[in-house]
Structures are given as structure tokens and as C-alpha cells.
Amino acid sequence: MIQGDNTLVLLLAGGVGSRLNVLVQTRAKPAVPFAGVYRIIDFSLSNVMNSGLSQVGVLTQYKPLSLMRHLGTGEAWDFTGRTRGIKILPPRTGFQDSDWYKGTADAVRQNIDFIRAHPARETVILSGDHIYRMDIDDMLRFHRRKKAQVTIAMMVVPLSEIHQFGAGITNAEGRIIEWEEKPTVPRTDLASMGIYVFDTEYLLKLLEEDREEVDFGMHLIPKAIERDNVFAYPFHGYWRDVGTIQAYWEANMDLLKVDSEISPQAWGIRPNPYAGRLAVDRCPARFTNGCLVEGSMISAGCVIEGEVINSMLSPGVRVGKNVRIKDSIILHDCVLEEGAVVNLAILDKRVRVGQGAVVGQGEDKVTPNKVCPKHLYTGITMIGKEAEVPARAVIGRNCVVTPFRKAGDFPSLVIATGETI
């Protein structure tokens, strides 16, 4: 029997997140920068911290190095001490691809030894790629009050979006009596947030029953609903899966609204100020005479000589004279030279946009990217990490410039809408 009452948290942070396109070509999805000084995983980690939980295992897999550097010792989220800790759990890789995590449940199954080494009454399973605030301790109290074996955090979403989620039908007591994973014909608007509380012994039993069952939503949750007490914990508030370019852009733009539902500072969300050159290393932002900033967030270390409208700038961005930025997300240490225009675009770290270049040109926002039509189809143009846009280049809508491209890689100074370099 597992003894103890120190709830264990397993944070799933190994997904490829391919729909984020160039943002995940150099890093894991949870390590993608967000809202200037944060990374996506900071929200889940801070929720754990603010809920008083102190034992965390982070399950990594895809391009984990930047994520591991960001997590460090866990000190930023108070996960250090005799009874506190954060542990990186990579796949137990051998010589075959099959040794990698095959799904969410398989990832947890491969770390059963970690669960047994940290005796706990319950195990909380979270995703590392959601933007939200939640009192996990309240969910634990709900779980115990209902005498549930499994509790799933769920929220109401539009019926048009339910196909993206696991969907549950509940009875009057909140017990889930039917489950559909990503239904094409919805019968409910109650969607799973991918946040679970399991009685630990029950979780271990489920994982050990059938090793071919590799996913929680597809396999373990339906089985548990058929046999045992699985309850829906009702969540009300801001929550967004930022797994697509559109959702990532919208969540950043949500921060800029006057009546924004999202407030990392008020929520107690902590970045790691000791990982890389963040605000702690930089001087305050500088705004020169004649610049214009409206409805934007400007991080430390930025220098603004031009115009920034409704945009999110991470630390160290340099906006030259007569530069115009609108409806865009500019990550760390980008340089926009004199006369450049950036409209409805996302620039990864250390991008340089040459003099007079235009990123996001034209009224056609509906012609999708030819290579990745399901990633870019609303007009957003992506520039990958450390790419250089040559002077006077004109890049259309829904375009992609992959990481580390130099001026010589551009076949022409005019890149039509939907093209990829």
C-alpha cells in the first residue's frame, strides 16, 4: 500500500506541438515564450506552486534542452528543499523508436518507479501547454468529497469546438457516465481540459492492466468511466490550449485588451528570471522622442524609436526609426531596422528585419500557406529563430521563413502570400 498524503504532480511536457510550426522547430512546446517574459509551462508550474503542492515530475521528450534549462533546479517556483522538488523525467530510450513515449498514459507508465518512490494518496496529471489559473487544491478537495477514483477538470466550450477535446456526459451528481474522445457529432458541450486527479493506487492498477493502452483520453478514461467513479470538476475562468498558431496569437492579444481575462501578475504566475537573459539582466525599456506606442506590452531592454500598435514585445527588442509594428508578437532580441514594417506576424528570437523590409504585406489573408495550410490560414506570417529578412524584401501573408535563414537564402525580394523559405 502506498502511504502518505503529499500529493504528487506529473506534468506532461513532451509533445511535439507541430502546429506551432517554426516556434517548436528549436524547442519543446511548453518552452515557447509567451506574454513577453514567460514561457507557456510557467502557468502550470505556478498553479502547482500556488496550490501548495511541492513534488513535481516533468515528463519531457521532444527537444527538451531549452525546457530543462528553463526549469533549472525549480527554485523559481519554490520547488527546492528537503520535502520539495522538481525532477526531469526523460523517456527511457533504447535503440528503437518504440522506446519513446507512445501517448500520455504510456509516458506515465514508463515512470511508475518515480510514482512509487514518491508515496502519495493522489497523483495529479497536468499538461504543460495551457494558459490558465486553477486552484488544484480545490480540485483535490472535490475529488475526496466525491469519493472519486478519477476526477477530470472540465469546462463548457462552444459545440463547434468540441471535436478538439474529450467530451463527457454527466449525471445530476457530476459523475461522468459517458465519454467521447474528439467527437465529430457532439452530444455535449462539456470538454476535458486534460487535467486529472487519480487515486494513486487506482492509477497504478489501471496502468498495469494493459500495456497496449497508451492514452488517457482514448483508453484509460473510458475504461474507468465504465467501471468506477469518475467525476467532472467544473472549471470556470480563462483557459486556452495554445497548441496552434492562431490560438497562441489570440492568447497574446487577449493580454492587450483593456478588460483582459488573463493577468499573469494577478494570477501569481512566475517566470524563471535566472534562465537566459530575461528582464533581471536588462535595463528598463527606452522610448525615444517621436516614438508611438498604443495598446502594447513592452518588456525590459527594448528600445523603441518607431511605432508599435497592439503588439507584444519580449525583452531586448530594438525598433528602429520609422519602423511600424502592428498586431504582432516579437520575441527576444529581435532587431527591426529603419523603415521596416511588421504587420500581423510572429518573429521568433533574434530575428533581424532589414531596412525598408515588409513582413505581412497585402489584403489576402485567406490563401493558406502551401506547405502547412492547417497551420497558417488567417494572415499571420512566421519568421523563424535567428532568421534575417533582407533589406527591402516584401513578404506576404501566411508565409513562413524557417529558422536561421540568411539573406542569401531568399530566392527573390518578393515572397508571395502562402510561400515558405
CA angle 230, 231, 237 (to 5 degrees): 140
- For 4-30, write each residue's pLDDT tens digit: 458 999 999 877 778 899 999 988 899
Give the count of alpha carbons within 13 A of 202, CB side only: 22
Work out whether the CA dihedral 375, 380, 386, 392 comes out positive or negative: positive
* DSSP annotation string for 263-286: -HHHHT----TTSSS-GGGSPPPE
The CATH number of 8-255 is: 3.90.550.10
**2 — pLDDT class (breaks 50, 70, 90):** very low
Which of 265, 297, 300 is closest to 286 using CA atoms?
Answer: 300
Length of the chain: 421
> In the chain, what is the straight-line distance between the N-terminal and C-terminal CA atoms, in Å?
57
- For 217-259, write each residue's pLDDT tens digit: 888 998 999 999 999 999 999 999 898 999 999 999 999 999 9
The residue whose grid cell reads 502506498 is 2
Number of helices (H) and strands (E), helices first, in the chain?
A: 9, 32
In the chain, what are the domain boundaries?
8-255, 283-415
* 8-255 and 283-415 agree in CATH topology: no
* DSSP annotation string for 296-322: -EE-TT-EE-SEEES-EE-TT-EE-TT
SS3 292: strand
Predicted confidence at residue 3, as pLDDT, reads: 37
Pure H helices in 210-274: 221-227, 245-255, 264-267
Which of 198, 47, 11 is closest to 135 using CA atoms?
Answer: 47
Number of CB atoms found within 10 A of residue 330's CB? 32
Residue 369: Cβ-neighbour burial (10 angstroms; 0-12, 13-18, 19+): buried
CATH architecture of residue range(s) 283-415 = 3 Solenoid (2.160)
- For 288-321, write each residue's pLDDT tens digit: 999 999 999 999 999 999 999 999 999 999 999 9
- For 316-362, write each residue's pLDDT tens digit: 999 999 999 999 999 999 999 999 999 999 999 999 999 999 999 99
